């Protein structure tokens, strides 16, 4: 699923969307700010105002009012949480999305994996990386359990375990 997050965020900023960008890594947020350039800063023009709110920290610490978000994007991020936290985060995302219009686009591990750790990440002397995966069936079950409707589920064999891309929506309240 080819996707250019930089272009998407620039589009959102130009058309007055409010964005919260989160990462636990200062370095990753700095790279994102640099990639977005002027589009990553607060922009005001006339009656419209757009901004990217850069939030450094654990994604599990994020909190938003119920039914307040139009979309949540999670690219190569949720897979770095333990399985139990992945489930808890998806439950929270289901509550945060607006009924009838809210969308969740993310990727998960294509296979079930309790945990995996790389002691050195990207051939660096320091810095480690953690992964876990629910697998396709459990990811889809978790999305449905969070009140989300699975719109797209696609496995790409781009890694050993594959990348499971999903698009889910929050149905309108009945």
pLDDT at 43: 44
The CATH number given to 59-151+158-174 is 3.40.50.150
Distance CA 3, CA 7 (A): 9
Beta strands in 6-128 (DSSP E): 18-23, 43-45, 48-56, 71-74, 103-109, 112-118
pLDDT digits over 126-155, tens only? Answer: 677 888 999 999 999 999 999 999 999 999
Distance CA 6, CA 80 (A): 21
Question: 67's torsion region: left (phi>0), alpha (psi -120 to 50) or beta?
Answer: left
pLDDT at 1 over 50: no
Report the chain's mean pLDDT, rounded to a whole number: 84
Helix H or strand E segment including 6: helix 5-14
Domain map (residue ranges) of the chain:
1-57, 59-151+158-174
- Can you read off the two tokens belonging to residue 120? 């050195």
pLDDT digits over 16-71, tens only? Answer: 677 788 998 888 888 887 877 666 655 444 444 556 788 899 999 999 999 999 99
pLDDT at 10: 61
């Amino acid at each position: 699923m080819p996707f250019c997050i930089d272009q998407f965020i620039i589009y959102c900023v130009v058309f007055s969307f409010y964005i919260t960008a989160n990462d636990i890594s200062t370095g990753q947020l700095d790279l994102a700010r640099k990639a977005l350039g002027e589009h990553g800063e607060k922009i005001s023009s006339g009656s419209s105002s757009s901004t990217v709110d850069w939030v450094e920290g654990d994604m599990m610490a994020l909190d938003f009012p119920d039914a307040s978000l139009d979309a949540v994007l999670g690219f190569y991020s949720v897979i770095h949480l333990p399985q139990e936290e992945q489930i808890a985060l998806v439950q929270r995302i289901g509550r945060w999305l607006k009924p009838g219009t809210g969308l969740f686009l993310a990727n998960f591990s294509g296979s079930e994996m309790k945990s995996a750790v790389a002691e050195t990440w990207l051939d660096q002397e320091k810095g480690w990386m953690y992964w876990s995966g629910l697998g396709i069936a459990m990811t889809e079950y978790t999305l449905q359990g969070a009140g989300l409707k699975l719109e797209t589920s696609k496995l790409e064999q781009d890694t050993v375990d594959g990348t499971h891309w999903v698009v889910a929506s929050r149905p309108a309240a009945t």
